[in-house]
Structures are given as structure tokens and as C-alpha cells.
Structure 1
Amino acid sequence: MRVFLVIALACLAGGASASSPIAEVICEPTEKMTQKLSRQFGEQLHSWGTRGPEQVMQVWTDKRGDWTMVVSYATGTSCIVAMGENWEGNQAEDPA
């Protein structure tokens, strides 16, 4: 499934001339990226954190454990920077 996602997103983003479908970063307007990840591929935003004042790093996951890491920029563009399988999230323990 993950390979299909990479190929599909690469095609929708205009395709890549590199030998690997993830060799180039896939970028789209943030709203469009969010819709594809949630509606088309069934992923939900799992976690996020800021990377300076202009960037937000997000991890999207689905029920099978596939994951996608996205960086969203203040300019309104989001880019897939990594993806994989077998995501296991750890919940922070309550110190109280």
C-alpha cells in the first residue's frame, strides 16, 4: 500500500524523473495535501510539533500502521519528507 501511495502522489504532483518515486520531495498546497492523506488514503494526524516559527512537522498514520511525515510551511505549502510502515506511537506517561 505504501508503494502505491508514493507512486500515486508522485504522479499527482507532476511525476519525477528520478529513479525512485520518493527521490524528490512531494509538495502541494496544505489543504490539498490534508485532503489526500485523510480522505483518499485514510490517514489521520497522529502527532505534530513546531520546527521554528515557519514550519510544523506532522506524522500521519492509518489503522494498518502506515505513516507519512509531512512538513507544513507558513507559506501554505506542505511536503512529504518521509513515509513507512509499522508505526508504533508511544503515549507520554502522566507524571502525576
Structure 2
Amino acid sequence: MKFLPAFTAVCLAGAASASSPIAEVICEPTERMTQKLSRQFGEELHSWGTRGPEQVMQVWTDKRGDWTMVVSYATGTSCIVAMGENWEGNQAEDPA
């Protein structure tokens, strides 16, 4: 996963102060997080689902198979909760 150190550096450079150093690294306003994942790291939103009335879980992937799991909150903040490699999506079966 080659982009993790670069992503961490980018997040640290633009992060606002927060109570936890981890929050500084992995949380951003949703719009900024979306721009970083798509424009800087070439990831696309692969799938998403709700986690209660105020949270959306998202999986972003790139062509190399790197993936990022993000939780977006109704407050307008998104946080990276997991990252990995070798993502393989399943194709939906045709019911016909």
C-alpha cells in the first residue's frame, strides 16, 4: 500500500487540532476527504451502506486493489477506519 505514508503526510499537513493525535491523521471534513481519495489517490467509491441514521460506511478502491474504509457522519466529518490491499469485489449474479 504505497499511498499510506503520503496520505498520512497530507492529512497531517492540513489537519485541525483535535483531542486525539489519531483523529488528526484520519479525520477530515467530508468534502476534503472525498477530494483526497478521488483526486490525489485515484480511488473511487466502490460501495456504501448506512450504519444508523447518522453514519454512512464507504469502501473506496483504486485500480491496484488498495482500499480505504471511511465512516461519514451527519456532522460533515469523515474518518478513515481501515485501509488495506488486494481488494476483490464480487460481481452480482444475474437472477435470470
TM bin, normalised by shorter chain, reads 0.7 to 0.9
> What is the identity, as a one-letter code, of the residue corresponding to 1:3?
L
| TM-score normalized with structure 2 length | 0.81
RMSD of aligned residue pairs (Cα, Å): 2.1
Aligned residue pairs: how many?
90
Structure 2 residue 8 is matched with structure 1 residue 7: yes
Runs of 4+ aligned residues of structure 1 deviating over 6 Å after TM superposition are none
Distance 2:45 2:29 in 1: 17
Q: Relative to 1, partners in 2 of residues 1:5 and 1:47: Cα closer, same or farther, differing over 3 Å? A: farther
Structure 2 residue 25 is matched with structure 1 residue 24: no
2:33 is paired with a residue whose SS is helix
Deviations 1:32-72 (A, max 9, x none): 00000000111000000000110000000000000000000
Instruction: Report if the CA contact (8 A) 2:3-2:41 is conserved.
Output: no
1:70 is paired with a residue whose SS is strand
Structure 1 residue runs without a partner (length 5+): none
| TM-score normalized with structure 1 length | 0.81
Give percent identity, aligned residues only.
79
